[in-house]
A = this chain, B = another copy of it.
Amino acid sequence: MAETDWIAVDWGSSQLRAWAMGADGSVLQWVSAERGMLTLAPDQFEPALLELIERWLPAAGVVTVIACGMVGARQGWREAPYCQVPCAPLSARQFVMIPSHSEQLKVYLLPGLSQELPADVMRGEETQIAGVLERQPEFNGIVCLPGTHCKWVRVNQGKVTGFQTFMTGELFALLAEHSVLKHGMNDPQADTLSSSLPEFLSAMRSAFEQPGQLSAALFSLRAQGLLQGMTADEARARLSGLLIGAELAASQMFRADEPVIIVGDSGVAELYAEALQSLGITPQRLNADAVTLAGLKAARSLLGI
């Protein structure tokens, strides 16, 4: 293996992922572990990281580590205070260098972004936005980042000018696994949505048209299971459709008519793309890992090392 030039890290709530980067910008190796921020006390971050990357370290000399995500939250390794929008997604003078015990590591945490009104925050997605801009420096428009907390981010002339977070993914998981609706659902891990796309789109459109009726429409899923024998696959597709439809209605003003990029290639990103398409919007799609890595590379360039 060629010598590790620096190490890129995406450290979220539940997962830690690291890439050993070559001097030519190529990925030499990568690794991931279930050592997310939520599982670690402040003094456990460095050992958890070292355990994963020790074999990549050269015999001598210091290696730069650049990490984004929840690792920089108040409950993380150390707090990297938010940058307030409007601002560039990454600003080198806001990066936080952490004193590490190992003399071989020089660790930088990337801060998240905050918005005062309406109050909102992100950690990790700012790096993906930087990656999007690395790929498409001229992009002006909306970046949609589906996930547990889906973000809609407005980008203008290289800056993030505003964003809006929806709890759609978390609501889906809570409702499908822990609410009365679970009785009519199948395993929310199983990917059966492709066969239920018409049901997804019909529920999506109904919630898009009447987003304020969401909490009544949710209970109706239960009643349709009891009264009309709605199948578990259909119930799951409709639940997803209702939540995403309400989100698309609520983000409509924010989106205006600007071009949309969806970051992600998971099943849920696919659903956002299908939903937007059925509303007459054709989003561009970018791979999530690719933009994360591009963003971490952009951070390294900003450091000028």
Contacts and interface: CB of A to CB of B under 8 A. Distances in A.
Interface of A: 74, 82, 114-116, 118-121, 148-149, 164-168, 170-171, 174-175, 178-180, 211-220, 222-224, 226-228, 243, 246-247, 249-251
Contacts of A213: 250
A224 B120 CA distance: 7
Contacts of A171: 179, 215
Nearest to A166: B215
A165 B119 contact: no
Copies per complex? 2
A218 B164 CA distance: 11
12 contacts: A74-B226, A82-B227, A119-B220, A121-B227, A165-B216, A166-B219, A167-B215, A178-B178, A212-B212, A212-B250, A215-B247, A216-B250
B149 A167 contact: no
Nearest to A243: B215
Given A174-B174, A174-B178, A219 B116 contact: no
Given A148-B180, A174-B178, A215-B243, 8 more contacts: A114-B223, A118-B223, A121-B226, A167-B179, A167-B215, A167-B218, A174-B174, A215-B246
B166 A216 contact: yes
A223 B167 contact: no
A40 to B, nearest CB: 16
Nearest to A75: B183
Contacts of A148: 180
A170 B220 CA distance: 14
B215 A119 contact: no
Q: Which among A82, A165, A214 has the greatest number of chain B C-beta atoms within 10 A?
A: A214
B227 A116 contact: yes
Given A174-B175, A211-B211, A119 B166 contact: no
B114 A227 contact: yes
